[in-house]
Amino acid sequence: MKILKALTQEDTQKISISLAPLLRSGDIIALWGTLGSGKTAFTRYLIQHLLHRQESVPSPTFTLLQVYDTDLFPVYHFDLYRLEKPNDAYELGIEEAFIDAVSIIEWPEKMGSLLPAAHRLNVRIKVENTTRIFIFESTDSSWKERINSWQITL
């Protein structure tokens, strides 16, 4: 487990950018946190970094999914807040995404038991005024190793 405290949005950006080199296709990044905790902000910084540009990264609040083609792997950015039932996630292409893309999922609780444990990194975001506490943990052995070897200074 790794706990990082972002005092500013710039810190959130640093954390999200430093996660980028650890990503591999097939990974699932589950972002757990209340409305306004920074799930989209964290994802936006990460995707802009992977795209090497400040491209607009809209919140998939209504579309439920935005797909980006990066040099290394496609990135599927899900916002499942409006998903009515876990099975509806199949229509969004989760099966393909989980095989060879990097899936970043806001509101992963909406997937229920369809959310795989394999290749999954959990990111829990806690809010304290403008501070965001990021807790990174996983039950996946590869992610455990990656979290342990992750070097970051804020």
Ligand X SMILES: Nc1ncnc2c1ncn2[C@@H]1O[C@H](COP(=O)(O)OP(=O)(O)O)[C@@H](O)[C@H]1O
Q: Site residues (CB under 5 A) for Mg ion?
A: 39-40, 59, 106
What residues between 9 and 28 interact with ligand X by CB under 6 A? 9, 12
Stretch that binds ligand X, among 2-10, 21-29, 84-92, 146-154 (CB under 6 A): 2-10
Name the residue nearer to ligand X (CB basis): 44 or 140: 44
What residues between 72 and 131 interact with ligand X by CB under 6 A? 106, 130
Residue among 89, 5, 16, 22 at smallest CA distance from 48 = 16
Q: Which position has the token pair 């992610």?
A: 143
Please state the closest distance from residue 6 (CB atom) to Mg ion, in A: 16
Q: Report CA torsion sign: 73, 96, 13, 5.
A: negative
The β-bridge relationship of strands 2-6 and 28-32 is: unpaired
Beta strands in the chain (DSSP E): 2-6, 28-32, 65-69, 74-79, 102-106, 120-128, 131-137
Please state the closest distance from residue 32 (CB atom) to ligand X, in A: 10
Please name every residue paired with 76 in a beta bridge, in sequence order, or none if there are none: 67, 103
Residue 36 interacts with ligand X (CB under 6 A): yes or no: yes
Binding letters toward ligand X, positions 37-56, x by CB under 6 A: xxxxx---------------
Pairwise CA distance, residues 81 & 9, whole Å: 23
Stretch that binds ligand X, among 32-40, 86-94, 134-142, 146-154 (CB under 6 A): 32-40
Q: Note the residues at the interface with ligand X (CB under 6 A).
A: 6, 8-9, 12, 33, 35-41, 59, 106, 130, 132
